[in-house]
Structure 1
Amino acid sequence: MFLLSSRDTRARAILLMIGAIFFFSAMDSTAKALAQEIGVLPTLWARYAGQTLFVLALVARRFPGVLKTRHPRLQLARSLFLLLATASYFVGISNIGLAEAAAIMNINPVLITLGAAVFLGEGLGIRRILGIAAAMTGALIVIRPGGEVFTIYAVFPLAAACCYSAYALTTRFVGRDEDIWTSLVYTGLIGAGILTLMVIPVWVMPSTKELALMALIALFGTIGQLCLIRALSQGEAGMLAPFAYTGLIFATFWGLVLFDEWPDGYSLLGAAIIACAGTYVWYRETFGARRP
């Protein structure tokens, strides 16, 4: 009975993780379309301001008790990590293809696996080192520094991957004994507060279409964030990490359907190397370590 319950919990965590990645990819594609109309900063503000309004409406009856936290510094840190990750990624997708940006961003599962090992006191084995090296090689193939197709904007998804990995690890730690709504409120309030101060000087009243896109960004981002926190609260970060690679599929789909973006052979090769490296590290550390 215990084993069945444990398996059900893992399966639920995996489905929540895939759901989170789907909604985040939908948010990214909407943000790419909106950023082309009004710029990155207002788009980023819409993502956070909208999520904050949704969350505050849902927790209105529990306010201000929902603000009580055992980890105020970690809540601030994880919120800043996510803000930096989202800002970097939005800059990236506004200037390069969704599939290419997603491929670079998807080195984060390897970084999460590495971080979970380091911060949980596990040893840094040769497999993890090789996995990190392979994933970075794949990212370099996609970015292709020095090549004719290279653009500095390809570096932004790489920065986003590092920040997101730090966010995921702190979320996993905080989620062990923190209310999910507390985490959502802090993520929204901190991000929205900082971005509101930044967007005021450049604000221009958006059109009806742009307001609709803003609402979609907020909705997709909120649902994705909720699914992610739930997933990381119910499953181990290392176990869930490989399922983030579904984002490659979702990003390629949205890029083809909405923006007519066709990833080239190098991008596909780099994405495959990144996915294989992450899956290998996850498999060896999750299943190989259990073998006597």
Structure 2
Amino acid sequence: MPETLSSHRPGLAIAFKLSAMAIFSVMSAMIKAATAEVPSGEAVFFRAFFAIPVILGWLVLRGELRRGLVTRNIRGHFLRGLLGTVGMLLSFAGLSLLPLPEVTAIGYATPIFTMILAAVILGERFRLIRLSAVAVGLVGVVIMLWPRLGGAASLEQGAALGAVLVLGSTMASAMVQIHIRQLVQTEHTAAVVFYFMTSAAVLSLFTLPFGWVVPSGETLALLVGAGLIGGVGQALMTSAYRYGQASMLAPYDYTSMIFAIILGYVWFSELPQAITLMGAALVIAGNVAVILRERYLGIERTKARSVSDPKA
């Protein structure tokens, strides 16, 4: 059965969440650097495969190895793995073509698409607050994508393709969120995390015919390091939701933009465009409006957020 909030320790929960966001941002930067040499499918394999021992070690330390590997829904895990792997593949491909802060900003649209899919697939009702939040968020998405999809120069640089890939990744992540809401009704959080990484490692092997390469020593270190710290980040993220409610922790997702801007500037000499920040601000505003509304109504989605797709 899925685990529950073990105790309310907001300070510890926030520390775990901030640490996880920082680690995922560093991991994304490492993947971006590595995909300059290796294809995104190969990067997905290393990201997933080297996270597995970290996750297993985390389960051993928590004394939940047996419980965390028990599953009642193999088919559900496979579908979650397939959707998550596609999302990760698209995200990594987008990272190779777009600045890190821009990929991070477009990723903030995931909750907006999740709300739309929840209405279509799960029949959730759209009240005024949610409807307004979705509208504001979609305007923000259009603003972020407009410079990339509106000019020939962008097409020549591959930026338009990158924007489409990251948008596709965001939609895949939204589908994952919908699926996880159902999966965690019977599955332990740790099992969802473990079987996703295992599925991603296996499924990524199907990209072998599309040009895997033998990486240089530096790139290999980046790929292995991304997998290891990605596993640490996922453990910290899941731990955060053991000690804090989802509505309290959700706003800290957006600290990843700070980390992305710093890493993008220092590592890749990138700075986000003003229009990207403007669009991201609208998407964040829409998301925060829903967060505040759900906090007021007492609607929590702790499980779905605690096992959400790792940020690329």
Contact 1:47 / 1:217 at 8 angstroms: preserved in 2? Answer: yes
Question: By percentage of residues, which structure has more helix?
Answer: 1
Would you say 1:194 and 2:198 are equivalent positions? no
Contact 1:171 / 1:232 at 8 angstroms: preserved in 2? Answer: no
> Which residue of 274, 285, 291 corresponds with 1:282?
291
> Which residue of 258, 273, 279 corresponds with 2:267?
258
Q: Which residue of structure 2 aligns with residue 100 of structure 1?
A: 102
213-222 or 202-211, which deviates more: 202-211
In 2, Cα distance between equivalents of 1:127 and 1:66: 37
The alpha-carbon deviation at position 15 of structure 1 amounts to 4.1
In 2, Cα distance between equivalents of 1:162 and 1:201: 24
> SS of the residue aligned with 1:38?
coil
Alignment length (residue pairs)? 286
In 1, Cα distance between equivalents of 2:254 and 2:173: 14
Alpha-carbon RMSD across the aligned residues, in angstroms, is 3.2
Deviations, residues 154-192 of structure 1 (Å, cap 9, x unaligned): 122222222223323444554465334322321121111
Contact 1:17 / 1:231 at 8 angstroms: preserved in 2? Answer: yes
CA 1:216–1:153: 2 relative to 1, 3 Å: same
264-273 or 147-156, which deviates more: 147-156
Contact 1:112 / 1:166 at 8 angstroms: preserved in 2? Answer: yes
In 2, Cα distance between equivalents of 1:17 and 1:115: 26
In 1, Cα distance between equivalents of 2:70 and 2:115: 30
The alpha-carbon deviation at position 264 of structure 1 amounts to 1.4
Q: Which residue of structure 2 aligns with residue 38 of structure 1?
A: 38
Q: Give unpaired runs (5+ residues) of structure 2.
A: 155-159, 300-312
> Which residue of 275, 278, 281 corresponds with 1:272?
281
Deviations, residues 89-137 of structure 1 (Å, cap 9, x unaligned): 1111110111111111111133445666887775311221111121111
Would you say 1:146 and 2:150 are equivalent positions? yes
203-212 or 145-154, which deviates more: 145-154
CA 1:241–1:114: 2 relative to 1, 3 Å: farther
- Percentage identity across paired residues of the two chains: 28
Q: Give unpaired runs (5+ residues) of structure 1.
A: none
Would you say 1:229 and 2:238 are equivalent positions? yes
Contact 2:133 / 2:286 at 8 angstroms: preserved in 1? Answer: yes
> Which residue of 127, 136, 139 corresponds with 1:137?
139
CA 1:229–1:116: 2 relative to 1, 3 Å: farther
Q: Which residue of structure 2 aligns with residue 85 of structure 1?
A: 87
Contact 1:40 / 1:90 at 8 angstroms: preserved in 2? Answer: yes
In 1, Cα distance between equivalents of 2:110 and 2:64: 34
Residue type of the alignment partner of 1:17: K
CA 1:132–1:233: 2 relative to 1, 3 Å: farther
CA 1:103–1:235: 2 relative to 1, 3 Å: same
The alpha-carbon deviation at position 261 of structure 1 amounts to 0.3
Q: Which residue of structure 2 aligns with residue 21 of structure 1?
A: 21
The alpha-carbon deviation at position 210 of structure 1 amounts to 1.7
CA 1:188–1:39: 2 relative to 1, 3 Å: same
> Which residue of 215, 222, 226 corresponds with 2:224?
215
141-150 or 54-63, which deviates more: 54-63
Contact 1:59 / 1:181 at 8 angstroms: preserved in 2? Answer: yes
55-64 or 265-274, which deviates more: 55-64
> Which residue of 141, 163, 185 corresponds with 2:172?
163
The alpha-carbon deviation at position 201 of structure 1 amounts to 6.4
The alpha-carbon deviation at position 222 of structure 1 amounts to 0.8
Q: Which residue of structure 1 aligns with residue 308 of structure 2?
A: none
> Which residue of 239, 249, 253 corresponds with 1:244?
253
TM-score by length of 1: 0.83
Contact 1:109 / 1:244 at 8 angstroms: preserved in 2? Answer: no
CA 1:203–1:114: 2 relative to 1, 3 Å: closer
In 1, Cα distance between equivalents of 2:236 and 2:9: 14
Contact 1:80 / 1:191 at 8 angstroms: preserved in 2? Answer: yes
CA 1:198–1:65: 2 relative to 1, 3 Å: farther
Q: Which residue of structure 1 aligns with residue 8 of structure 2?
A: 8
In 2, Cα distance between equivalents of 1:106 and 1:91: 17
Residue type of the alignment partner of 2:276: S
